[in-house]
Amino acid sequence: MSLFAPPAIYLVAALICCFLPRRGRAVLLLAVPVAGLVSIFSYAPGVHEVVQVLGFELSFVRMDGMARTFAVIFSIAAALAALYAFHVHDRLEQIGTLVYAGSAIGAVLAGDLITLFLWWEATALASVFLMWARRTTGAMATGMRYLIIQVLSGVLLLTGLLLHYYDTGSIAFDQLGVVSPGTAFIFVAFGIKCAFPLLHNWLADAYPAGTITGTVVLSIFTTKMAVYALARGYAGTEMLIWIGSVMALSATFLAVIQNDLRRTLSYSLIGQLGFMVVGVGIGSELALNGAMAHAFCSVLYQGLLFMCMGTVLYRTGTSKASELGGLARTMPITAACCLVGAASISAVPLFSGFVSKSLTLSAAAYDGHYFAWYALLIASIGVLCHTAIRIPYTVFFGEDSGKRPAEAPVHMRAAMIVTAALCVVIGVYPAPLYALLPFEVDYSSYTVAHLLTQLQMLAFAGLSYIWLMRRGLLTADKDVMFLDTDIVYRRWLPAALPAVSSSITAVWHAFQNLCLGALSFAYQRVEKVAAPGAILAQGWSVGTMMFVVIVVMAVLLFANLL
């Protein structure tokens, strides 16, 4: 692989970062995404950077519309995250960020399953340091849980790769479909990183445990990389429509009960992934464009919301709804950026979410997937309640908490303002985004029908929020850990472990006693027949020995004839 390939640029920069002083590292993190973006646009469509390894042809750069869309937004987001984290001095976090971003870009450019697997595991190993960099006992434990699940995804991917290669003799990363055990393993591996239902708990557990800047980076890469992998390998797989619908709906109910607002945003992220998964499942050109566009926009507005909550945490020391309120008095720019992110995620016209969500919703309606269409509409109402209204109101405009923190540092404000501006520009003029998508777009979001539908939904959601708020059903003001499916390995397994351990020990001791008893019995029998005067201790005559030999030979001859 050439040193000018996009992922190689990040890896070389990570190596250089080991030897640079603090300010040099911060500048390097800003410069690398720009160099990576230039490298991405320098490649013509096709397969590049092909390497022969042990008889396999590994393609490190496969450039087409789908790969370019994700590589571009990953590069833009990496630059914005680097600007946001300009104050960070932690060498470990900075190196982890570079390797993580480069590996994610390498994964979306991979032309074969082996290359994909290498980058897939690299993202897991690099991203965990964004949690461990917090250097607390809780962060270390959460990071270990996260790493185990991410490595499990890689093990399943490798298993599926080997089975698929055994069945087909191919390692090509193209349309796979769930047609064999190998492709089923790969599908589950992608599903873990995409936070499928019952496999999603790692996300809500891990992202709030990251550092202030690390959580912003975490929200960008892993899950969108998985959406790309699904779109590349499983477009049109109908079960994804149902999976995505459940993701969008379940996240709505889980997000609204969280007190930690970074945890709320984590569940909100799962809901947005549901839109993308539905688009991939429908599989039409319009739906795939919708999934790609929504992934592009989601990286920006979800990252913006995480930036805003990270800034609040940075200035106040907390991101809990019960401890915040009235911060717009001293943090007006952060509040304004948060409102832009809220408008984008709730698909308000003239903001980025409107021009991306409408693609998927239209595709669901055109293809007759009415359950998915209704599910996504309900999820859109939900995200308006639990994220777009609740977070800005609770943190910046609600009941005064008495806190008067300073506004965000200059570089944090710059990162949030640029991200917010991109959300508005894409919403007002989506043509450049549509031009970047893998299929030609003959679609207009700003039709009377789309505008009326969205405005009615926003009005209904706003009234629903007011009604729920008055009845106290949206208040999560207690510092309670709401366990999700992670209750299995955080509560049930530890509670059951002593009983399981004692049972295993009892079975082992019984087995030992049984074996020792059998050996003792055998020894006694041998001792009995071999004692002086016993049958084995007596001398045998030549005639007796000859008779035994003849009998044995007769038995062997008879067995051979059979």
Helix axes 113-127, 137-168, angle to 10 degrees: 170
Residue among 302, 306, 425, 293 nearest 359 (CA): 293
Which residues are 52's β-sheet partners?
A: 57
- What the block records as the tokens of 12 is 């070389």
Per-residue pLDDT, averaged over 358-378, amounts to: 88
Do residues 275 and 362 lie in contact, with contact meaning Cβ atoms separated by under 8 Å?
no
**pTM for this one?**
0.84
Structure confidence at residue 511 as a pLDDT band (50, 70, 90): confident
pLDDT higher at 114 or 486: 114
Beta-carbon count within 10 A of 556 CB: 10
Percent of the chain with pLDDT over 70: 93
Q: Which of 137-146, 183-192, 425-434, 537-546 has the lowest mean pLDDT?
A: 537-546
What span, in angstroms and rounded, lies between the C-alpha atoms of 291 and 232?
Answer: 12
pLDDT given for residue 330 in this prediction: 92
pLDDT given for residue 472 in this prediction: 65
What span, in angstroms and rounded, lies between the C-alpha atoms of 37 and 40?
Answer: 5
Q: Which of 189-193, 241-245, 417-421, 544-548 has the lowest mean pLDDT?
A: 544-548
Averaged confidence pLDDT in the chain: 87
Write the Ramachandran bin of 64: left for phi over 0, alpha for psi from -120 to 50, otherwise beta.
Answer: beta
In angstroms, the Cα distances linking 394 to 191, 212, 259, 330, 376 are 33, 20, 11, 15, 25
pLDDT given for residue 467 in this prediction: 75
- What the block records as the tokens of 222 is 């892993």
Owner of token pair 């459940």: 246
Owner of token pair 């959580």: 215
What span, in angstroms and rounded, lies between the C-alpha atoms of 41 and 63?
Answer: 9
Q: Which of 57-71, 121-135, 464-478, 495-509 has the lowest mean pLDDT?
A: 464-478
Beta-carbon count within 10 A of 66 CB: 21
Q: What is the DSSP letter of 489?
A: I
In the 3-class helix/strand/coil scheme, how is 207-266 assigned residue by residue? HHHCCHHHHHHHCCCHHHHHHHHHHHHHCCCCHHHHHHHHHHHHHHHHHCCCCEHHHHHH
The residues near 38 (Cβ < 8 Å, ≥ 6 apart) are none
Per-residue pLDDT, averaged over 177-205, amounts to: 91
pLDDT given for residue 488 in this prediction: 66
Sign, CA dihedral 395-398-402-408, equals positive
pLDDT given for residue 16 in this prediction: 92
What span, in angstroms and rounded, lies between the C-alpha atoms of 430 and 427?
Answer: 6
- What the block records as the tokens of 52 is 């022969």
Please write the tens of the pLDDT for every residue from 69-103: 999 999 999 999 999 999 888 899 999 999 999 99
